[in-house]
Amino acid sequence: MSVHEASVEARGSEPSRQHQVVIVGGGAGGITVAARLRRARPDADVAIVEPSDHHYYQPLWTLVGGGVVRKEITRRDERDLIPEGVAWIRDAVARFEPDRNRVYTLDGGEIRYDWLVVAAGIQLQWDAVKGLPETLGRNGVCSNYAYEQCERTWETIRSFRGGTAIFTMPPPPIKCAGAPQKIMYLADDHFRRAAVRDTTRIVYVTGTPTMFSVKEYAATLDRVCERKGIERNFQHKLVELRPEQREAVVVNLQTGEEKVLAYDMIHVTPPQGPPDVVKRSPLADAAGWVEVDKHTLRHPRYPNVFALGDASSLPTSRTAAAVRQEAPVLVANLLAAMRGGAGTASYDGYAACPIPTGYGKLLLAEFDYDLRPAPTFPFLDTTKEHWIYYQMKRYALPVLYWRFMLKGLA
């Protein structure tokens, strides 16, 4: 066992332990914050609490479901990503006690901290749709929202021979709110290549009132749907699947009226919400997310607590691109607080959602808290689809994630 491997083999079964900074969650937010902290303060005593042995680059699951890449390239061993010198507590948090500066793990361990960073992710609620858990991956039902399922999406799309294909999006917030329609556009392209599009009806069922929250990008996506002949059902959500009859029950969020849609295949995005351990903790706001100031990422009631990413109350999209901008702000303000200062770094709500509108075409939606386009490359019109952005999603962004973002370099 290497020195680095030994440094990350800490176990949550110890009855009590103390760390200067405890990070709950070893996903994109937790690893990035830990890496940046250690680069800025090599002597910092940092621990990550994370039960999973694997780490996933989830933005590529759309391309797995579209038959472009294999799912295995989206997974790495967690141990290889824990920054040098950071303790890995391989357990899950069962309870937060911020009044006592403690968290407790499922194995019964007590972890005391000086500073806490919560990056606990989001909870997928498969059972919120009646009939979904027992039929997922079978009977024409698929989803890109799980590593074990995304290749089955491609199998479902590839074997489709015409009929009605439904793609659903629940009311937000969800992680990567563009993902429910990304796979729909790739499926449309494949159906055309397979010569089954003429006998196919594509229906998008979404809990939102428009295709996208930023009007400039919504207008482009409306045109994409019109070009592709995609039907849109706004402000509807999926509440039940009847797999034997291949029927989906959806409800109108404005009137409460239910209607039944027949399908031959259906891609389901599960409802999502804050993790239960966060929702029932003193850290939560009224909606169940970790309450933080939207600019400083610091908790308003517990000044030694910070949060970022999917589990936070930040009113922006839950994407890796958002986390990449949140992390340096959080770390700067945490380091200032550790020195006794207030911290002046400010997050403007930047988020990005790369939306493939077909094989080789992509709309790069970048925006801020005010829902204004915030392009990284202003010389390219981001309200239009571009080939180069598709190549960036396929090849460049995974490299940026694995080799730079998770190492605290970008």
Distance CA 100, CA 307 (A): 18
Q: In what order do the strands lie in the sheet with 200-206?
A: 141-142, 265-267, 163-169, 200-206, 231-233
In terms of Cα–Cα distance, which of 316, 319, 311, 310 is closest to 283?
A: 311
> In Å, how far are 113, 290, 305, 306, 314 from 301, measured between CA atoms?
17, 11, 9, 11, 16
In terms of Cα–Cα distance, which of 167, 123, 168, 179 is closest to 353?
A: 179
Give the three-state DSSP class for 409. Answer: coil
Distance CA 297, CA 279 (A): 18
Q: In what order do the strands lie in the sheet with 247-252?
A: 236-242, 247-252, 258-262
Do the beta carbons of residue 183 and residue 167 sit within 8 Å?
yes
Identify the residue whose tokens are 């308003």.
300
150 part of the active site: no
Which residue is catalytic, options 142, 150, 176, 225? 176
Give the three-state DSSP class for 224. Answer: helix
225 part of the active site: no
* Beta strands per DSSP E along 27-131: 46-49, 54-56, 75-77, 87-89, 93-97, 102-105, 110-118, 123-124
Report the amino acid identity of residue 102. Answer: R
Distance CA 260, CA 267 (A): 16
Q: Which residues are catalytic?
A: 176, 353
